[in-house]
Structure 1
Amino acid sequence: MHVVSRQQNKSRPDRVAPLAVLPVFFDLTGKRVIAIGGSEAATWKIELLAAAGAHVQVLAPIDQWCDDLIALAESGASAGTISLVDCQWSPSDLSGAALAVADIEGDAEALAFVEAARDAAVPYNVIDRPEFCQFQFGTIVNRSPVVVGISTAGAAPILGQAVRRRIETLLPATLSAWAQLARQVRASVMDRLEAGPQRRAFWERLVDRAFGDAAPTPMDGDIDAIAAAPPLGRVTLVGAGPGDADLLTIKAVRALQSADVILFDDLVSPDVLELARREAKRMLVGKRAARESCRQEDINEMMLTLARQGKHVVRLKSGDPMIFGRAGEEIDMLEGHGIAVGVVPGVTAALALASRLGISLTHRDHAQSVRFVTGHSRKGVLPDTLNWVGLADPATTSVYYMSRRTLPEIVSQLRAQGMGLGTPAIIAGNVGRADEQVWRGTIGEAVAAVEAFPLSAPTIFAVGDALRQRTSAAAIAVSA
C-alpha cells in the first residue's frame, strides 16, 4: 500500500479552500427526531425539523412548554409531525433517532446528553452551545426543493442572517415552482434527450426562465416542443446606477445573474460587474468624453447578432438607461428586427447626488419642478432647441448632464435670461464612485470651479434655489 502524505504533495494547489464546517443536508422525511426542552428557542428548531418531514418527539415537563410550542403542536407543522411528551428525558430515548436536539443550560446535563447521543450514534446539537454540538443549524433560504444553507460556524449568526437577506433578493419566489417542475421532468429528459448539447440546451432554457418573474406554465414541461424550438434571444437594458453596487435594483441583479453576454459602458463600476453571472461574457462598449468610443451602430449590431444566436444580452448602462442613454434608439432597432427587449431602471446621477447631499430637488419652499437637461448635442455642443427662458427660472431645479465642456456656455445663457449670479449651483463628477468630486457655490463662481474637474469625468451641473438647503456645517460632508 502506498500512502501519499500532505507533505509529499505540497506543490499541488488546493482545489477547495479550508472549510470551517462541512455543509451537509439531512433527509429527515419520516425519520424520528428527539427534541429536549419546550422553550421558544427549542420551538423554532422543532418547527424547522418538522418542516423537513421529521416525526419530532418533544420531551419536556409540561410546565416547560411555551405557548408557541403548544400552538405549533395543536395547529400541526407544514410537514412531518410533532408530539409533546410530558416527561424528563433519559439516555434510552435517543436510541434509533435520526437526530437529537436539546435546549439545556447546565454543563453537566449538556455533557450527559452528548454522551448519550454518542453512545446511541445519533448526531446531536445543544441549542446555542456550539461546544456541545456535533452539527449546527445554519440560516436558510427556502425555495424548496431548492434549499440554501448558510453557516458562520457559530462565529457570527447576525452576519449569516445578513447573507441570507442578500440571497433572498436574488432568488424569485417562483423558483420553488420551477425546481418542482425540473424534478417532475428529470426522468423524461434523461430518457428522451441525448446526453450532451441537446440535454444541456433544455436545462439551460429552463433555468433561464426560472430566474424570471413568472411561474412555469404547462408548456414549460413540454420536453419535445422545447427541445425542437430554436433558442430565443433577448436583450435587457439594465440601469447600473451611478457606480455604487448597493444602489442596484433586485431586478437588475437578477438580469446580470441570467445574462449570457454583458455589453457594458465605460462608467459601469467593477463592483456592479462583480454581481454578474461568472460564465457571462463581458464586452466593454463604453462611450466617454476625451476617449476613443465604440460607435452606436456597432453596439446595435452586436446586440442584434448576439440575440439572434439565442443569447440573453444585457446592455448595462450607467445611471438609468432611459435618461440620456440612447435606449430609445436601441429599443426601436431591436424591436424592428423582432428581438424582445426589456428594461430595468437604475438610479440616475441627479437623484444619486440629491440623496448623497440630502437635498430635495423639489423642496416646496424653493422649487416646483425639476428638469434633467442634456449638456451637449450629437455635435458635442449645447443643443440649439433648449428653452433658456424656462431653464432660467430659479424655482425650477435644472440638472445638466454631460456638461463638463459646455458649463461656461450654460452659465452665459442663464445670465442672458436674467438669472442672478448668486443662484446656488453644484458641480459633481463621478457621482457615486470612489473618486467622486463635488463643488458647491453659485453660478457666478461655477465657470472657474469647473476647471478643477477632469474632462473625462462624467459631470453634472445643478442649478436652482432648492440647492440652498443644507449649507450649514451640519450638512452632509462633500469632497472639494
Structure 2
Amino acid sequence: MDALKPQRNEPARMERLAKLPVFWGLEGKRVVLAGGSDGAAWKAELLLACGAELHVYCEESELSESSAALIAKSPMLTWHDRSWDADIFKGAELALADCETDAEAERFYHAARAAGVPVNIIDKPEFCQFQFGSIVNRSPVVVSISTDGAAPILAQAIRRRIETLLPLSLKDWGALAQVIRERVNLRLVPGSARRSFWEKFVDRAFTERLDDGSEERLLTDIGTQASREGSSAGLVTLVGAGPGDAELLTLKAVRALQAADVILFDDLVSVEVLELARREAKRMLVGKRGGRESCRQEDINDMMIRLAKAGKRVVRLKSGDPMIFGRAGEEIAALEAENIPVEIVPGITAASAMASRLGVSLTHRDHAQSVRFVTGHSRQGKLPENIDWQSLSIPSVTTVFYMGGRTAANIQSSLLAHGMSASTPVVVMISVSRTNEQRWCGSLAQLAAAVERLGVNEPVLIGVGDAFRSASVAFSGTGKEEGAVMFAQKAG
C-alpha cells in the first residue's frame, strides 16, 4: 500500500492570494466619500446599491454633473457642502476619497487609518486598504474580479466572459435559495444529503426556467433527500481528466470535482486539472504509469468500495477518457458487485487531442475509411499477442497506439512484416496538450529510432496511416529535415 502515498508535489489547497476577496455587508451602515468627480459618483452608486447610508463631502463648485444628479435622486445619500476633515470618520464603516494629488491622498489615508476606518483612495492603489473588483451582478449572486491593480482591462475582459456564462435568471434562483435555505437547514443535517440537494439545485438553476412550480418541486426534493439521509451509501464517479490541458475538461467533470469528498487520481492527471477540485476534498494519488511502481488495481478497487460504504462521494480521476484503456470495466464491475452506484463522465481521449493539435482529421475521407485505437502495453508490459496486424497494415486505416513508447520498435517491425510500406506517414506525440508537449513527424521506417531519441518517460502516442500525411507535409515545410524532432509549446 506504500504506492498509495503521495509521490509528487501536490498543489496547495489555496495558492498565494494577492488580496483577500471579502464581501462586506453595508446595509444601513454609515460610509463617507470625499469628492464629487465622475469616478466618485460611480463609487457612490455602487455603495448605495449595497444599502449604505452614504455621506458625501464636497463643495458645490466641485460637483460633477453625474454626482449632482445622484445627490438629487438618492434618499440614502447625504451631501455636505464642504471639504472633508478628521471629524467625518466617526462611526463610519468605510471611507473613500477621490484626491487629485498624492499629498491630499496621503492625508486622507492617514486620517482614516487613525480613526480605525478601512480606506480606499480612487485610482491610487498605494493608498488603499481594500480595492473594488470588476463586478458581475446577479445579486444575491455577485462575482468580483481583481487583478490587484495590475491590469484592470484584463479584469473587464474576464467580467465580459463571465457575463455570457451566467444567465440573468440566476438572480431569481439566488433569491429562491434564500427563501428555502432555512427549511433546507432544518430538514437536512450538514453533510452529503444537504450538499446533494444544493448540487441538484445548481443543476436546475443552469438548465431550467424558473416558474410558479419551481419552489414546490424544490420542497419535494428536500423531503426526498431527508428520507434518504439515514442511508450511508456513497457514490463513485469515474471522471475523464482529458490529456492534461485543464481547458479541455468538460463542465460535468468540473461539477463532479467540485462535489467530491475524496479524489483518487492517476499519476498522469495534471496539476491544472486538480486545481479545479473542491478545496476541502481529500486528494489521494493512486499512481498508474507504465514502467514505474504503481498501485495494484485491486487496492484501488478496495479503496473506492471502502470510501463509498463510508458515505463518501468519490471521484476516480483518470487521464484521458476512463472508457478507453482506463481499466474502467474492472472498477465498474467491482463497485457494482458491492451495489455501489457508479457514474461515468467521459473525457477527451489522447487521440482526439493529438488530432486537434496537428490539425488532422483521423477519418479524412480521402485517406482513411476507419480509425482504430490500439494499446501498445498489455498486462505483461508488451504488445498484446492477439493484435490483427494484417488489418492494421493497410494505410487507409488510421491507427493510434496508446502507451506505445516502450514497444515502438515492435510496432514498427510488426507493421513492416505484414506489408505496410516503410514510407507510411507516422506521428509521435509526447505529453499531448501539455506545456512540455513534443511531436515528431516522419515515416514508419524511422519510428523506432525517433522514439529512442525522444525518450519514454512521458506518455507516448503513435499515429500511423495516410491520414497523417498532411501533418508530415506541414512539418517538412518548416525547412527541417524529415524525421527531425519538433518541440511545440501549448498555445496559451
TM-score of the alignment, normalized to the shorter chain, above 0.5? yes
Higher deviation after alignment, 433-442 or 317-326: 433-442
- Shift of residue 311, structure 1, vs aligned partner: 0.7
Return the alpha-carbon distance in structure 2 between the equivalents of residues 19 and 297 of structure 1.
Answer: 40
Report the counterpart of residue 348 of structure 1 in structure 2: 349
Residue number in structure 1 paired with 2:232: 231
The equivalences for 1:117-156 within 5 A come to 124-133=119-128, 135-138=130-133, 154=149
Name the structure 1 match of 2:422.
Answer: 421
Structure 2 residue aligned with 1:214: 203
The one-letter amino acid of 1:468's match is S
2:25 to 24, 27, 30: 27
Correspondence for 2:487: 478
Q: One-letter code of the match for 1:344?
A: V
Distance 1:89 1:388 in 2: 91
How far apart are the structure 2 equivalents of 1:269 and 1:361? Answer: 26
Name the TM-score, length of structure 2 as normaliser: 0.68
Which residue pairs with 2:100 in the alignment? 105
Post-superposition CA distance 1:203-251 (Å, at most 9, x none): 4542455456425922455599368522341111122233345544454
Cα gap change, 1:46/1:387 in structure 2, threshold over 3 Å: closer, same or farther? farther
Classify the secondary structure of the residue corresponding to 1:470.
helix
Q: Give matches, 1:158-237, under 5 Å.
A: 181=177, 185=181, 202-203=190-191, 205-207=193-195, 209-210=197-198, 213-215=202-204, 217-219=218-220, 221-222=222-223, 225=226, 228-237=229-238
What are structure 1's unaligned runs of at least 5 residues? 1-16, 194-198
Once the two structures are overlaid, the 10-residue window that deviates more, 384-393 or 140-149, is 140-149
What is the match of residue 381 of structure 1? 383
Tell me, in whole angstroms, the C-alpha distance in 1 between the residues paired with 2:78 and 2:473: 63
Alpha-carbon shift at residue 444 of structure 1 (Å): 1.4
Secondary structure at the counterpart of residue 446 of structure 1: helix
Whole-Å Cα distance in 2 between the matches of residues 224 and 320 of structure 1?
31
Please say if residues 245 and 270 of structure 2, whose CA atoms lie closer than 8 Å, have aligned partners that are also in contact.
yes
1:265 aligns with 2:274: no
Shift of 1:309: 1.8
Distance 1:280 1:369, change over 3 A: farther
Label 1:457 to 1:104 Cα distance change in 2 as closer, same or farther (>3 A): closer
Give the distance between the partners of 1:142 and 1:258, measured in 2 at CA.
25
Distance 1:292 1:360, change over 3 A: same
C-alpha contact 2:264 2:285 (8 A) present in aligned 1: yes
Report how far residue 297 of structure 1 moved.
Answer: 4.4
Which residue of the partner structure matches residue 45 of structure 1?
Answer: 43
Give 2:374's aligned amino acid: T
Residue 206 and residue 314 in structure 1: after superposition, are their counterparts in 2 closer, same or farther (change >3 A)? same
1:392-403 correspondence to structure 2 within 5 Å: 392-394=394-396, 396-403=397-404
> What does the per-residue CA deviation read over 1:448-470, in whole Å, with 9 as the maximum and x for residues that have no partner?
33334556653221123232242
* Number of aligned residue pairs: 446
Percent identity over the alignment is 48
Residues 410, 49 of structure 1: alpha-carbon distance in 2 compared, 3 angstrom cutoff = same
2:325 maps to 324
- Work out the CA distance in 1 between the residues paired with 2:194 and 2:175: 10
- In structure 2, relative to structure 1, the CA distance for the partners of 1:170 and 1:313 (3 Å cut) is farther
Larger displacement relative to structure 2 (176-185 or 406-415):
176-185
| AA at the equivalent of 1:473 | T
Secondary structure, counterpart of 1:49 in structure 2:
helix
Aligned to 1:196: none
SS, match of residue 487 in structure 2? coil
Q: Is the 8 A contact 1:126 1:132 kept in 2?
A: yes
Cα 1:371–1:155 change in 2 (3 A) is same
In the TM superposition, what whole-angstrom CA distance separates every residue of 1:352-402 from its partner, at most 9, and x where no partner exists?
A: 33444x4323596964567241134566434636474466234x5432112
Distance change in 2, residues 1:151/1:307 (3 Å): same
Q: 1:219 to 1:336 in 2, by over 3 A?
A: farther
Alignment of 1:297-316 (within 5 A): 297-316=298-317
Q: Deviations over 1:29-83 (max 9, x none)?
A: 13454554352x445434432332235577777993359x97x999x9xxx9776
* Separation of aligned partners in 1, 2:454 and 2:263: 30
CA distance in 1, matches of 2:333, 2:16: 51
Task: Give the 3-state SS of the residue equivalent to 2:226 in structure 1.
Answer: helix
- Structure 1 equivalent of residue 208 of structure 2: none
